[in-house]
Structure 1
């Protein structure tokens, strides 16, 4: 009986050790960031930095967009860049109407959509009004990447 207990105890100790190793080695994700491509890094730097007013840092591999709350987006050059057909970057704002007016004054042209995602004449989809999502307006960067301003309240 004692031999069985010792064998069982060793098995339990081994299983416990494996469990500790497994839980100690679980992957932890910190400081996640997003990336997307552009065809012209200089053009992107001017657009994101000067037109949008985002803090842009030039790096060897591309551009680093840094936001006040610590988020980071990395833009990398790609010779055969093809823009995504979906939104690659959402920019939260407190007031969608004011943000659209401000950005339009800086030369941003907002997308206009009909149908289910019908936007108004300024390009704003008023989703909160009908309970169909957030208030949001889409526009494109010089490479055709789809961006949005989205009301955070």
Structure 2
């Protein structure tokens, strides 16, 4: 079976699982699917769902926040509503000097559409994109 026949999910390293739980469950509202150990840390990992499927592995690790790349992207129909909802929950959207952002932090996406970025408490970057 080729790899393309199997589901994939993003794995996100965090420095403190309790802080991550407050962010991913509290601010983002992601549903917990499963929790368990991470290496030698009892209850140091969480698996979250999104879009009706398993989407993110979040685990406590010393490698947290080391990447500057976007770790995962949500594709949505109503970008403004999602950004407003997350902003109300305390999520801060990033603004990059080289891009023009609207008042919400949304910018035009290369190739069309729009995008907004935010970070978790460890500096892991995520995006929300819309084709409109």
Deviation >6 Å, runs of 4+: none
Compute the displacement of 1:138 (Å): 0.4
Greater fraction of residues in strand: 2
CA distance in 2, matches of 1:65, 1:146: 17
1:112–1:121 Cα contact (<8 Å) kept: no
Higher relative contact order (CA 8 A, sep 6+): 2
When Rg is computed on C-alpha atoms for both structures, the one with the higher figure is 1
**Equivalent residue, structure 2, for 1:139:** 118
Compute the displacement of 1:80 (Å): 4.4
Compute the displacement of 1:90 (Å): 0.9
- TM-score normalised by the chain length of structure 1: 0.71
CA distance in 2, matches of 1:68, 1:132: 24
CA distance in 2, matches of 1:44, 1:106: 15
2:76–2:129 Cα contact (<8 Å) kept: yes
**Equivalent residue, structure 1, for 2:27:** 51
Gaps of 5+ in 1: 1-25
Match of 1:50, SS?
A: helix
Gaps of 5+ in 2: 39-44
Greater fraction of residues in helix: 1
> Matched residue pairs, number?
124
CA distance in 1, matches of 2:73, 2:102: 19
Match of 1:42 among 13, 18, 36: 18
